[in-house]
């Protein structure tokens, strides 16, 4: 007997895949199973989300044939920071993998019996093997490039880059190679031992100090190039700077008058026959002091920054013969010259000539001061 509105069989009730709430809830008012409700459901022509999900799963299960056992790809393990590529014995194939050179299946990988799927799995396996080979080659080239870059930077910023090359040594350190070598042999005898962490040789340390004085690169840049911590590079510079000040300050001395006369260039001797020295003041930028009084004394109106000012004197031949103590940038050139002791009968005699720029005047009680006039441009 057929009952209207009831399923005809158990398969229609349980095997059709339609949810129970969809079968027994009827929105048609003329249907015998219609039940009025204050929460009417909106009719949907596409069905519920559960029905759609079930239909998709059913369609996939009917058309897709899964292989017997899928390949399990293990993620590559990263090497520890202390390990290097030389610690691994990796065999890199010379040619890409092909179907004939593909490794035999293992327990982790099984091929399907279906010819189409078998060919697809073989092509995928070949592609994966070639990608792994390219990845290993890329890693090896990357490591080699890193080592070459480190070795190149260390060699370029070391004594080996200027050894025996006077032009390169003058450009980077300000001295010729013979003078640099003589200076190193003189200073190294005062060094008892190097602190821990100083892996640079004494020549490289001296070269680093002179390079900082000559080109003034930042400590951070030197640290990155040399692959050394910034405190280590800063300590090396300060250590050798103090050693230079303590051991070669005697080289700055006032020469004899006969030595000045014999070494004066002919060009200067023709215009200034009794020239003895050339004077000037220079300033060095510093960080702003925390103390307000020190900041006010070191602020320079000319540089618009906090500076340290020095008074320097050189002979006509270019040798430094006099250097004053450091002053704040606020001090004037005339005051520094007067307080430095340069105006003394020990250094000058009546009739001597001194070259200076327009910042110095004859008010400094130097009757033998000769202001240098700038050459007029020719029309």
Q: What is the dihedral of CA 281, 285, 286, 288, to 10 degrees?
A: 110
**What is the spatial distance between Cα 316 and Cα 278, in angstroms, rounded to a whole number?**
7
Contact assessment for residue 153 and residue 225, using Cβ atoms and an 8 Å cutoff: yes
Contact assessment for residue 191 and residue 202, using Cβ atoms and an 8 Å cutoff: yes
For residue 290, what pLDDT is reported? 92
Residues of the chain falling short of pLDDT 70: 1-27, 39-48, 61-114, 149-156, 195-197, 359, 361-379
For residue 308, what pLDDT is reported? 95
> Residues 223-276: pLDDT tens digits?
888 888 899 899 999 999 999 999 999 989 898 888 888 889 998 888 888 888
For residue 358, what pLDDT is reported? 73
**What is the spatial distance between Cα 269 and Cα 191, in angstroms, rounded to a whole number?**
44
Burial class (CB in 10 A: 0-12, 13-18, 19+), 327: buried
Contact assessment for residue 219 and residue 180, using Cβ atoms and an 8 Å cutoff: no
> Residues 83-114: pLDDT tens digits?
444 444 444 445 555 555 555 544 444 555 56
Contact assessment for residue 169 and residue 155, using Cβ atoms and an 8 Å cutoff: no
Q: Which residue has the tokens 């008058």?
A: 257
For residue 89, what pLDDT is reported? 44
Residues 6+ apart with CB under 8 A from 309: 281, 282, 283, 284, 300, 326, 327, 328, 329, 331, 333, 336
> What residue spans of 19-110 are helical by DSSP H?
20-24, 49-63
């Amino acid at each position: 007997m057929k009952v209207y509105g009831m399923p005809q069989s158990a398969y229609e009730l349980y095997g059709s895949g339609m949810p129970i709430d969809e079968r027994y809830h009827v929105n048609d008012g003329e249907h015998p199973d219609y039940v009025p409700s204050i929460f009417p459901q909106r009719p949907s022509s596409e069905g519920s989300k559960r029905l759609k999900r079930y239909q998709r799963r059913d369609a996939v299960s009917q058309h897709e044939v899964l292989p017997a056992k899928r390949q399990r790809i293990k993620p590559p393990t990263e090497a520890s920071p202390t390990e290097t590529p030389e610690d691994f014995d990796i065999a890199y194939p010379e040619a890409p993998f092909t179907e004939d050179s593909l490794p035999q299946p293992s327990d982790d990988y099984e091929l399907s019996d279906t010819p189409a799927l078998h060919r697809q799995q073989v092509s995928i396996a070949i592609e994966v093997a070639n990608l792994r080979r390219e990845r290993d080659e890329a890693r090896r080239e990357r490591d080699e490039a890193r080592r070459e870059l480190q070795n190149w930077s260390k060699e370029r910023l070391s004594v080996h880059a200027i050894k025996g090359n006077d032009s390169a040594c003058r450009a980077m350190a300000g001295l010729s190679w013979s003078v640099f070598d003589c200076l190193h042999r003189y200073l190294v005898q005062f060094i008892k031992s190097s602190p821990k962490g100083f892996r640079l040789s004494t020549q490289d340390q001296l070269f680093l100090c002179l390079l900082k004085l000559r080109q003034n690169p930042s400590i951070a840049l030197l640290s990155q190039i040399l692959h050394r911590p910034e405190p280590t590079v800063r300590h090396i510079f300060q250590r050798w700077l103090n050693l230079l000040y303590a051991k070669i300050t005697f080289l700055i001395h006032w020469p004899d008058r006969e030595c000045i006369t014999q070494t004066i260039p002919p060009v200067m001797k023709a215009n200034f026959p009794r020239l003895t020295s050339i004077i000037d003041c220079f300033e060095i930028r510093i960080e702003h002091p925390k103390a307000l009084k020190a900041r006010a004394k070191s602020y320079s109106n000319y540089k618009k920054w906090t500076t340290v000012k020095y008074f320097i004197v050189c002979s006509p031949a270019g040798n430094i013969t006099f250097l004053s103590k450091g002053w704040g940038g606020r001090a004037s050139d005339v005051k520094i010259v007067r307080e430095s002791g340069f105006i003394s009968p020990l250094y000058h005699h009546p009739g001597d000539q001194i070259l200076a720029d327009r910042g110095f005047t004859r008010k400094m009680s130097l009757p033998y001061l000769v202001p240098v006039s700038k050459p007029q441009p020719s029309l």
